A and B are shown apart, each in its own frame.
Chain A
């Protein structure tokens, strides 16, 4: 009979170590470097958001094992960590494509026709907003204002900014994403 607390299962940290040894060491080293105070949950919680930022930077997303490791190290419950991840749009618990295409849907981009760009990308990629293509190459998302309103409408691919985008430019933008 298995125990309901999952104690018989492989520990999250061990599993993560087995699958992604380097990334996992990087994360644990980061957490070990934080000035955590044993027993002071309130103060330690203050490091949660930056830990998640780092973890997502390392793993690309926040799988349940990563959440579990963070929960153990910071002394917070998993539900609390999931609560934070689901609250902030920057965090995701699903793997996303290598090329993150984000169309800015801020006001300036909207009045200058950003919706048409989204439609064109949806048609070209065959995915909806917030989804990744089957080959894990492209993720299509929307952003609320990157603050480059003079270039509206704006599309960001990873850290590259395309300005004054028209639907005709979509092919070129996708073509720029060669591995």
Chain B
């Protein structure tokens, strides 16, 4: 069925919503994490239970990620009045009890999880919850494979509104007024980008979606694509109308098979209903979208590199200007926006720029999705208004540090970002404040670290990543980062001196100033921010040849304490024969022979081996 007018769409929606089934929906979170955690078995158990006679009362719905990754598999019971109950760590065995209890009862043995978000588009924040879901508004509550589910939540109405009632310039202006900024990391105003491309002479133009989510530790784009693919398609069509493009491309990682499958289905459905293709909404506007696959190159997240990759070349960046909005794919004006940026667009068009600005801070309105991971209790996806403090995110939503350890730092911005410490936990975060405390927004990965993480080693980890992913085109990035990595390796192995620390800083600044693209210019950030915040840890490595966190093996010393009962197990397993002693008396480790492999500590049953 094709929809040709906004009225027809609204009609269709009210018919969809008007049909009351009287059933309670069971939303089953079946994104990649949900499936890996055993969600499919839970789904089978639910379906089996419904077949036993509960199908009049319940309806099973597969949805994308709810963001509660730490307690997958998760399910939510929700009735038509909006009452809901969320259960986490669900096992197939708990299903009969949960379904018998329903929304009113309590299921013994099952874990209920509190909802920590509200939907600014639909409701007031009455309970003072921390999360506000705009980009993730549908993720986790609609079936991503059914376009009707998307339409029930006002899907494609924003597209209908712009095509029928707004001039292209007005669309760009609305997005500019809303001050929507690029959620991929740099924070460039999206409306500006659209205006630049719109100002180019008429002709072939392209609308690209950057779904090459490569930052280690960031998975919000995957969640949107798996859980709400239509929101991206709709926004791309809106942008295309604003700039005058008729062709869209989604550049997606080949490592996201489920997201690819769902996008393909969504594109097909949108074409069938006339939201993509020729004469959209019965107007003269044509727009269609195709998928292009990445092939594993982090640098392709940089827009000029991404464009080269689509053109079938090596994904090397080129100098800007000319900016892609002027000269992009096949040398035509091209807009490249990130998935999360697109996910905000339809809501802004529906509710207006002023509404969007009522959320977040004045310089960075709206929300940001963060992928909370690392040494934290509640790993997951959270969407918070800009200006929320790290303390609220880590200790409020994240539930604090794993195993009650001490908080040491949080790394934001991936390999381009930096580490933030306790002293900045109460800074309200947006693009500017994060920059001022030596990190950056990046795509929104947030990795929490505790006392057991060595910051020199973390910096080395990121440099290892950048060396691997540097495309090799410019010298500062190709060779400079390699040198940084070698210096950090020296420090971790106890070969660093105080001069090494000076050299680290100097070289970092040179790379920052001279590298060609965003990847190189930001790659020294992890080094600089750890040098600034954890200088004493670097000093301990070079002056005392000591790793305070006990991570850098070469600097550790294994010794045997008084717990030793002389069983000889360690001596038997030591690969270099460094341990000696009489049976039933305390053994000793010959430090000259010890290669610090740690086997003795693993084998000892009496906690008699110390590692310091």
Residues of A within 8 A of B (CB): 42-50, 52-53, 83-84, 87-91, 105-108, 110-112, 143-152, 154, 159, 161, 163
Contacts and interface: CB of A to CB of B under 8 A. Distances in A.
A151 B34 CA distance: 10
A30 B311 CA distance: 19
Interface of B: 32-33, 35-37, 69-70, 72, 213-219, 222, 254-257, 292-298, 309-315, 330, 371, 373-375, 379-380, 411, 414, 445, 447, 449, 453, 458, 461-462, 465, 468-469, 471
Contacts of A84: 312-314
Given A45-B313, A88-B315, A163-B36, A50 B257 contact: no
Which 6 A-B residue pairs are closest in the complex by CB-CB distance?
A150-B69, A106-B216, A147-B219, A88-B295, A149-B373, A48-B312
14 contacts: A42-B330, A43-B330, A44-B312, A49-B310, A83-B314, A84-B313, A90-B254, A107-B373, A107-B462, A111-B375, A148-B219, A149-B371, A149-B373, A152-B379
A46 B311 contact: yes
A108 B257 CA distance: 21
Contact of A152 (B254, B295, B373, B411): B373
Nearest to B213: A147
Nearest to A53: B293
A145 B72 CA distance: 19
Contacts of A107: 216-217, 373-374, 411, 414, 445, 447, 461-462
Nearest to A89: B296
B33 A145 contact: no
B314 A149 contact: no
Nearest to A167: B602
A147 B227 CA distance: 14
A162 to B, nearest CB: 8
Nearest to A148: B33
A111 B314 contact: no
B37 A87 contact: no
Given A53-B295, A89-B295, A112-B374, A143 B255 contact: yes
A146 B373 contact: no
Contact of A148 (B32, B295, B330): B32
A42 B314 contact: no
Given A45-B313, A107-B217, A108-B373, A150 B295 contact: no
Contacts of B465: 144
A150 B376 CA distance: 10
A155 B257 CA distance: 16
A49 B291 CA distance: 12
Interface centre among A87, A143, A147 (most CB of B within 10 A): A147
Given A108-B447, A111-B375, A147 B32 contact: yes
Given A87-B471, A107-B461, A147-B255, 17 more contacts: A45-B313, A46-B330, A49-B310, A49-B312, A83-B314, A84-B312, A88-B296, A108-B216, A145-B217, A145-B219, A147-B218, A149-B373, A149-B374, A150-B37, A150-B69, A150-B72, A150-B379
A147 B465 CA distance: 16
A150 B70 contact: yes
B596 to A, nearest CB: 13
A173 B33 CA distance: 18
B26 to A, nearest CB: 22
Contact of B453 (A47, A49, A111): A111
Contacts of B411: 107
B33 A150 contact: yes
B295 A52 contact: yes
Interface centre among B310, B330, B373, B374 (most CB of A within 10 A): B373
B289 to A, nearest CB: 15
B296 A145 contact: no
A108 B402 CA distance: 13
B519 to A, nearest CB: 13
B598 to A, nearest CB: 9
Given A50-B293, A111-B374, A145 B216 contact: yes
A113 to B, nearest CB: 10
Contact of B312 (A47, A111, A148, A163): A47
A108 B446 CA distance: 9
Given A107-B445, A145-B216, A50 B380 contact: no
